[in-house]
């Protein structure tokens, strides 16, 4: 005849199985799942922003601002003028572009009688737009993914 385990052993086995089952259930429910931040891919673009100007009493509303990739010459442009006290003359711009190196310039439509084809962000701008500044060499602007590069002011309308 077969002997049955004592009730104490049966209770102990049931408790152990319950603990094991409860632990498995707990870990299955609380297994680390990727959060929304982890599931979101890393950014591939950054922002360029700066102040606008024009040698006049106003900033032309039809001015376009572009960032031109230094290797591919692909342009990322905007005609949106942002009103904010943080910008010189309270008018600025923002351009979203892939991480990389760019020349930034502003221009007006061809029939507006502008003083130059393009106003670059260049050494003349960073020198203070002074007559003593002799270089008009464009400055390479580096865009870092997920970051904003500020104070990129395409204001050299005197480059002739």
Which is higher by pLDDT, 15 or 141? 141
Q: What is the DSSP letter of 88?
A: G
Is it the case that residue 148 has pLDDT exceeding 60?
Answer: yes
The pLDDT score that the predictor gives to residue 39 is: 72
Domain residue spans in the chain? 7-36, 45-149
pTM here is: 0.72
Which is higher by pLDDT, 79 or 113? 79
Long-range contacts of 69-76 (CB under 8 A, 24+ apart): 69/97, 69/98, 69/100, 69/101, 69/102, 70/100, 70/101, 70/102, 70/103, 70/140, 71/100, 71/101, 76/102
CB-based burial, 25-56: b 16+ in 10 Å, e otherwise: eeeeeeeeeeeeeeeeeeeebbbbbbbbbbee
End-to-end alpha carbon distance in the chain = 111
- What would be the CATH architecture of the domain defined by 45-149? Sandwich (2.60)
Is it the case that residue 116 has pLDDT exceeding 60?
Answer: no
The pLDDT score that the predictor gives to residue 10 is: 57
Which is higher by pLDDT, 14 or 97? 97
| Residue 24: band (very low, low, confident or very high) from pLDDT cuts 50, 70, 90 | low
For the chain, what is the mean pLDDT? 84
Which is higher by pLDDT, 144 or 32? 144
Out of 32-46, 48-62, 134-148, least confident range: 32-46
Quick check: 62 and 160 in contact, CB under 8 A?
A: no
The pLDDT score that the predictor gives to residue 110 is: 76
């Amino acid at each position: 005849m077969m002997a049955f385990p004592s009730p104490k052993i049966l209770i102990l086995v049931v408790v152990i199985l319950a603990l094991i089952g409860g632990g498995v259930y707990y870990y299955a429910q609380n297994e680390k799942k990727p959060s929304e931040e982890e599931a979101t891919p890393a950014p591939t673009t950054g922002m360029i922003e700066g102040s606008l100007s024009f040698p006049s009493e106003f900033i032309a509303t039809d001015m376009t601002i572009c960032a031109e990739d230094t290797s591919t010459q692909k342009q990322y442009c905007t005609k949106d003028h942002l009103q904010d006290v943080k910008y010189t003359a309270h008018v600025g711009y923002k351009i979203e572009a892939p991480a990389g190196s760019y020349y930034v310039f502003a221009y007006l439509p061809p029939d507006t009688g502008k003083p130059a084809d393009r106003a670059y962000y260049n050494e003349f701008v960073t020198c203070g737009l002074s007559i003593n500044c002799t270089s008009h060499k464009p400055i390479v602007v580096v865009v870092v993914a997920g970051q904003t590069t500020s104070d990129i002011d395409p204001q050299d309308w005197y480059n002739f």
